Chain A
């Protein structure tokens, strides 16, 4: 385990050798050699890595797991999930096979190994986190197994100390007909290779009579092997997490690690998205106060809600104002365009960074709130309208609200209800987005106009806005009507925006 000082770790368990003894000493715990792309993560890492790497690698893995979870919630078929996850994994957690002879292999696998164990630490705290983590890791493992080259997969499985043995040739000959009948070997091509294991290890195969039983031993066809490996992986992980959970309070509390770990476990509740300047559309067209109404069709529900509230009451309370202001800033609305009453001008200017000191991020102002922030902040009470409406509103009111802004598809509303029931608020929002832009998304996918990473889960209101705007104005951007080269005259631009 990574601990603050080496002095506290038992001498035998340190991977770092005493420099004086180095010449003749041998590390008791072997440094890692990653022979295979796949990993059962049985031994914890023992080397040192920089703190930044620690966090960076963990966050990358978290992103992957969050995307995997999103696929689940949207009920994507296994084929779709696979297709979707490939680029995600390539981007965040590339793992090359042995055959590729890439020079990066060791680092990639080290990253995989270390990030898994980091997240294990972060997610062993509560039963719910453990369950989710175990489930997602098992899915990831299964996905990777499928992509693995057959030969390498075989080698990897052989390296695991599983409790099965291959059926010998004599036994195969003796029971040939029965083996084939029991395990349903149809094709001539399908290899006649079997392994045997205690039947208690394969209860589902026994239940379906898909294996041969002889005095308590189950004879299973080789094709079932990957399923069994995944099951075993799952089982081991679950019990290890359980154990980790019990040991967690006794761990030496470390000031460097525990805030990071805590931050990581928060991610699962509401995934993070780094806000970047690029979610403004200022480079395409300049929004003005007048154009906001038109642009509001591209707003996510939270902002639409605030917008209406503002229009209705000409007033927003503090948090709502803050949220909305920052959002508009993110879009690219300039400070001058604000129409709030002057008594709040100072606040607005503060948000924008016009005034205010160092804490204000040096003149740029506060960053617009991400979905995570909105979901974890204090919920609104009466008279307030901030936060995430998917969380704040009860299902019926939420449905009513959605219908008010023009969403009426029954299936969609049903899906939203389910998502909200499972407390996956950002998934609900994404679902609405996908439905509203279904045609455009399809086009973009078919014509490969956008890379896949531009279509991943939306985690920030500004991302929602920008993507919505771009999708709806695909034709215009392509045609060059909307200046990709530079901002167009505001008056001209706002007219053309009414699509």
Chain B
């Protein structure tokens, strides 16, 4: 079985070739790991430390100096061209020992045995050094793994299944014969879209305070996808630094054309201002999706936005708030009050709106209009901000789960929606941590095991990647079970059709 990735060959290969490396690996990039070691031994870094850690510009892909400055150590060297987490050595280790190729293959293939879903799938490799290679495809998981180990891409992206093998695309006469045929429906939520409303961080930085926005977004989008569209196989993946991706593998979703993808994307997008930038309220009565979203988001508005983010405390913040209220009388009165009593918190200011509105005939808004206006504001500050373009096209390439984010070294792990609230992006393991954990296991629990037992334990099981890989495997198993049922049903239908009907021709 060419595709089988049984543990033993993997282990053997690792031990044969990498034995020498195993001990060297932590030692070789000695300088780089040094600063990070103290960081790991501390409790989770505070937001202050992180502000420096992610001290770079916006682009998620750019390599940043992630060395944490220590009080005694020399200042981190700026302008480092080479990323710490993406040396070919480290990547080689990672792909050899840790990357879950088999489950990834099954996830994309929708069956244990290779079929066109995987074989005609495009992969794009981003190599250290920056080269971008498209239209890679593989007949089996094993060959895919081999190429990753050989090329050690910094990351790779997954594209659609095409009508032909992507590597053969130039061999057809008609260019239109090569076209995308199937791909999972995907969504991308990026924290930078929230910059206008978050107060704790900006740009590439994140912290636990603002991660809450992503949590909110996942909840709302997940609910809509499941309850409204009936999708069941939804995989949420941490993007490695400051966002999340969703991959929907339902057959019905995979077969959607561009029009339908656009329809779903626009269904989820809430347009608050028109093209000229003028603010347009949301139509009433609220569509049930918006209504449900509001119910989900209301508690978060109170906790994350008003309490934690406190966006209206500053002058600019409160001005923004007043700009969103449609009544001049009310806003003038509020402005006066806040000018006279400075340093009111967002919570206080929020309740001020109601107080002043009720108090006098300042506002020309009736009760309902005020409620609606406040709802609009709540949605403005909490509703998911999607990058809709990612979802609209069949042929869009999106970063694969489980690759390493070059800027942070973190693995793009799946997010278990059952424990969504507990997900902490800052405790997602980095590749260097994982490699170290393997060592620790070898010298710790590994020592205590018998020879045979030890051989059975795979490298990823020795690390904190274990939970994530297990979750992913469980998810894929569920997907495959569903797929097998569908295939069987279709096969039965085909037989019935052939036997039953006469051919109609005229």
Contacts and interface: CB of A to CB of B under 8 A. Distances in A.
B228 A182 contact: no
B285 A180 contact: yes
B260 A200 contact: yes
B82 interface: no
A125 B264 CA distance: 36
A90 interface: no
A216 B291 contact: no
Interface residues of A, number: 22
A339 interface: no
Contacts of B506: 1, 13, 44
Contact of A215 (B228, B266, B291): B228
Contact of B263 (A13, A203, A212, A215): A203
Given A181-B287, A213-B289, A203 B228 contact: no
B263 A178 contact: no
Interface residues of B, number: 23
B259 interface: yes
B285 A207 contact: no
A140 interface: no
Contacts of B263: 203-204, 206-207
A99 B227 CA distance: 46
Contacts of A212: 288
Interface string A110-143: 0000000000000000000000000000000000
A86 B286 CA distance: 41
A212 B288 CA distance: 7
A181 B228 contact: no
Contacts of A208: 266
Contact of A203 (B227, B259, B290, B291): B259
Interface in A171-216: 178, 180-182, 184, 199-200, 203-204, 206-209, 212-216
A216 B252 contact: yes
A393 B448 CA distance: 93
A278 B260 CA distance: 56
Interface string B271-300: 000000000000101111111000000000
Given A213-B228, A214-B227, A215-B228, A182 B252 contact: no
Contacts, number: 52
Given A203-B259, A203-B263, A204-B263, A209 B230 contact: no
A216 B288 contact: no
B347 to A, nearest CB: 31
Contact of A206 (B264, B285, B288, B290): B264
Interface string A258-301: 00000000000000000000000000000000000000000000
B267 interface: yes
B264 to A, nearest CB: 7
Contacts of B291: 181
B229 interface: yes
Contacts of A217: 230
B229 A203 contact: no
Contacts of B227: 214-215
A188 to B, nearest CB: 15
A216 B285 contact: no
Nearest to B264: A206
B266 A181 contact: no
A178 B228 CA distance: 12
B256 interface: yes
Contacts of B264: 206
A182 B288 CA distance: 6
B396 interface: no
13 contacts: A13-B506, A182-B287, A182-B288, A184-B283, A200-B256, A200-B260, A203-B263, A206-B263, A206-B264, A207-B263, A209-B290, A215-B228, A216-B231
In the A-B complex, the 5 residue pairs with the smallest Cβ-Cβ separation, listed nearest first, are A216-B230, A213-B228, A215-B230, A203-B263, A207-B263
